[in-house]
Amino acid sequence: MDESTPDIETGLPHHKKAWSQHDLLASTLSEYVDVLQKNGGRWPSWQIAPSSDDVHADIVRLNVHLEKLGWMAKLTKDEQWVVTVFPAPERQFPRRNTVLLFWGLSLLTLTLAGDHWMSNARPTEGWFHSSAFIDALLGYTLPVLSVLFVASMVQRSVAGRYGVRSGHLMPVPDFTIALYALGLFPSNWLFWPFGLLLIPTMPRMDARPWPDRASLGYTALSVPLVLGGTGAIMMIAGMSLTPEYLASSTMPLISTPPLFLSLLAEGFLSNDAFIRLLWAHPWVHAGGMLLLFAWISILPIPTFPGGRLLIARMGLFDARSSSTQTLILVTMLFCAYVFGVFDQFSLWYLVFALLLPLVFFFGNDLRVPLILDETEGLTEADHSRMGLLVLLVFLLLLPAAQPVLHESTWDDPLNHRLPSPEPATLQDDGTWLSSTEVRINNPSALMKPYAVTAYLETPGQGWTVTWDCDGEDTYDIDGQGCGADLLPQRTAFFWMNLTWTGPEQPTMANLSYVVNLDGVYEVEEVRVRPALAVVPAGHWYDVSVGPYMHRCIELNGTLMDSTRLNISVGDSSINDLQTQLVTPVGGPEAVSNLTQTPSKFCLEGLDPLVFEPSMSVLTLNNDTFAPISPPRRTTVAHVPEGGWTIYADDGPTWGALLSHGVLSKDLDHCPIDASISTPARPQDGSAWIWDMDVRTSGPLIQADQNLTLLVPDGANLTLCKEAFNPYPALSFTAVEGPELLISWMNTTTRFWTTPWAVATGGTVLNTGMNTFTLHNPSNTSIPFRLDRGGSFGEDWGHNWDGQALAPGDTLFDLTPPSAPLATMWLTYESGSVVLHLSSYQ
């Protein structure tokens, strides 16, 4: 009988049909989760149920297993939990040689950029080294690359903590900086001066798989935090190391610190720290670049760290929604408009040229970044911590409207504030004081010298000028005033004090500031007045009106304490005078009970010499003033058509009043510290002619050759004798007339109408004033006549023979009458020299 033996199975158990990759993956998933149903789609996908209480922990364990197989699982939530399996990315990381090449090229472009930053202002021995290249390498390039290396290592460490392998930062060099370094483009065209275009991570962080939103958010925060923190420290350290002043050789390129960082730094930086940005330490520029890149990277733009932060906090679908992206775009443009970003061409144009395409093309892209477990979300602690860090970075690093700007005013001239003096007030000691603040401002980036002083038109009248320089006393002008070297962006303050010490009330006075700003002189005329209702000018002036002479004075002010104005002048001191020689213009109603202040007040005299010194005293209501009387005779130069001849040897010279100085025509004020040469002397022995229509200014010289001075009829001439005083020593008008010289009171002058004489009771005011000699240097006689005036009675006696003024000298010896008042003066009228002789009873 045959024994039957059972079949014995040999080998491992197996399926008769080979598994597909899909089956293999489903089998792998079933070890960690319960697979419920297979889904369709491009990538393998299943509906699952958690095999434990925590589906997120199950997915973590699943991905640890799949990573060894080159796969990764993404968990999503529909009606059921859904797991989709993707192949793990491969060959994303660049070769080490590529990374080193980018870092090496960045070292070169950063060094060129650093040299450009530092070229306008560098200490004599450099910031770190006397070589400009090494100085830029040590001061700008190495600090920037060191910070980028630290940020790269921190980012890799944070990513590795969450199980993600991250690449290094790979700075992208900006080769356009070489065009500016070589001088092919002008430096004022440069608007992106950093030496780097971008600082991406390779491979891109959006291309890496992230286990959850927390890992994505904290890794995205790492680089902006490192760049922002070290950039702020570096900028503040650089500002503290910047010296008080360095001279700039070209237009400075300034790194403007962020607004809120500036406010925080004000507490422990010097008062002028932000002015020193004009010649800043290279760390300021390196820190400024890091701060700007950190702030831009935190913006919620797709592919930026800020865009990944937005996804980490909001979720992929909400962050990539059209409403969110539209809000980001509108907010960006609105803020740019409000802060005037586009008021001028700047680096923001390049930034927006990069940001806008990213928003348009990647704003709704749900494919990246790939978060394997987006459904886990963030804990409350992580959500709050990320939000706080993003807010701090965004606000503290908020850049200025123009983070980098060219200081176009770097060489602007000094400007000044030279106000009219404050009204003088009465002091306890009886003097009047006006104290006026003067300001000189330096808007440039260069230290510039200045000096200021002031000159009174009529010194010695009663006003005196003193200065309170408050330390600004390095320079002066002609031994007076204030001055110093003014540092950039500073304003100098000091005070001009005007004091009146006269016995009467102070009058108005003209004075002029003389300012030397960086070697250029300016003159500004102002007036000082007391704090009284109505004030007269500082001097009277004469105006010829027909046969009479008007002596006038300007009045300034309005009635305040009184509703009426009464005007009076001093009485005559001449006794037994029956003729009314001087009367107010307009009669008695023009001097009493006036309801408004007239612009001027005038006296009318029968001739130019009847105004007595006592009549210059002016009373306005209860205030008495003593303005200066004008000269007895107006200075007039009579110049023939052929001009004056100034002889070198035998013959008339310049004469009195024209002994030295600078003679000018039609100038508002004297030239200040001018270097004016003499009129060109002919070399061929011809006549030496100075035509003032051609050469309006020149010094009066005593030369060894005859000089002919041609002056146009009606020209206003001035003679300036002080180098810095804008007021001339002598002002006169030139009219066409005979060339004469007159010797009177022991002086000889070409102003032959200046002699005068006043006699009372037959006695002249000054001995010798009734005798003079007229010298006619020409070869022709000049018509001469007498003009008698005044009251009936005794006349002047004289020795004139009734003939014209012959060539040579003609002596006049006059005898005054015994009348209460007699006057004598000379004029030129209708082609004749006229001797006026008047007597008044």
Question: Does position 348 have pLDDT exceeding 60, yes or no?
Answer: yes
**pLDDT band of 841, cuts 50, 70, 90:** confident
User: pLDDT digit string (tens) for 86-144?
Assistant: 999 888 899 999 999 999 999 999 999 999 999 888 998 999 999 999 999 999 999 99
What beta strand segments (E) does 538-693 contain? 541-545, 548-557, 567-569, 582-584, 600-605, 618-620, 623-625, 636-639, 644-646, 662-665, 688-691
- Residue 468 contacts residue 462 (beta carbons within 8 Å): no
Looking at residues 204-219, what average pLDDT do you find? 92
Query: What does the DSSP 8-state code read for residue 461?
Result: S
SS3 779: coil
Its sign, for the CA torsion 638, 644, 649, 655, is positive
**pLDDT band of 641, cuts 50, 70, 90:** very high
What beta strand segments (E) does 537-686 contain? 541-545, 548-557, 567-569, 582-584, 600-605, 618-620, 623-625, 636-639, 644-646, 662-665
Residues in the chain: 841
What amino acid occupies position 537? A
Backbone torsions φ then ψ of 404, nearest 5 degrees: -130, 130
Name the nearest CA neighbour of 453 among 515, 520, 523: 515
Total Cβ atoms within 10 A of residue 149: 13
> Token pair for residue 622?
């209860």
**pLDDT band of 388, cuts 50, 70, 90:** very high
**pLDDT band of 758, cuts 50, 70, 90:** very high
> Token pair for residue 370?
């790939």
Q: What is the pLDDT of residue 188?
A: 79
Name the nearest CA neighbour of 29 among 81, 106, 79: 81
Burial of 26 (0-12, 13-18, 19+ CB in 10 A): middle
Q: What is the pLDDT of residue 1?
A: 42
Question: Does position 553 have pLDDT exceeding 50, yes or no?
Answer: yes
CATH number of the structural domain 415-528: 2.60.40.2310
Report the percent of the chain where pLDDT is more than 90: 64
Residue extents of the structural domains in the chain: 21-87, 143-163+204-406, 415-528, 534-625, 631-676+686-736, 738-841
> Long-range CB contacts (< 8 A, 24+ apart) of 325-331?
325/359, 325/363, 325/364, 328/300, 328/301, 328/359, 328/363, 329/356, 329/359, 329/363
Angle at 401 between CA 395 and CA 406, to 5 degrees: 135
Domains 21-87 and 415-528 share a fold: no
Cα separation, 782 vs 251, whole angstroms? 69
Any residues with CB less than 8 A from the CB of 428 and at least 6 apart, and which? Answer: none
Total Cβ atoms within 10 A of residue 584: 17
Question: Does position 296 have pLDDT exceeding 80, yes or no?
Answer: yes
Q: What is the pLDDT of residue 15?
A: 62
Total Cβ atoms within 10 A of residue 553: 24
Q: What is the pLDDT of residue 274?
A: 86
Q: What is the pLDDT of residue 191?
A: 84
Which range (91-105, 159-173, 223-237, 342-356) has the least confidence? 342-356
> Token pair for residue 242?
């910047």
Question: Does position 684 have pLDDT exceeding 90, yes or no?
Answer: no
Give the class (CATH, top level) of 21-87.
Answer: alpha beta
Q: What is the pLDDT of residue 199?
A: 94
Its sign, for the CA torsion 421, 424, 428, 430, is positive
Looking at residues 512-531, what average pLDDT do you find? 93
Cα separation, 157 vs 169, whole angstroms? 13
Looking at residues 462-475, what average pLDDT do you find? 93
Which range (11-15, 231-235, 346-350) has the least confidence? 11-15
CA distances from 684 to 642, 649, 681, 687 (A): 21, 20, 9, 9
- Residue 812 contacts residue 782 (beta carbons within 8 Å): no
CA distances from 389 to 48, 264, 312 (A): 37, 17, 13
**pLDDT band of 522, cuts 50, 70, 90:** very high
What's the whole-number average pLDDT of the chain? 90
Cα separation, 124 vs 130, whole angstroms? 8
pTM: 0.78
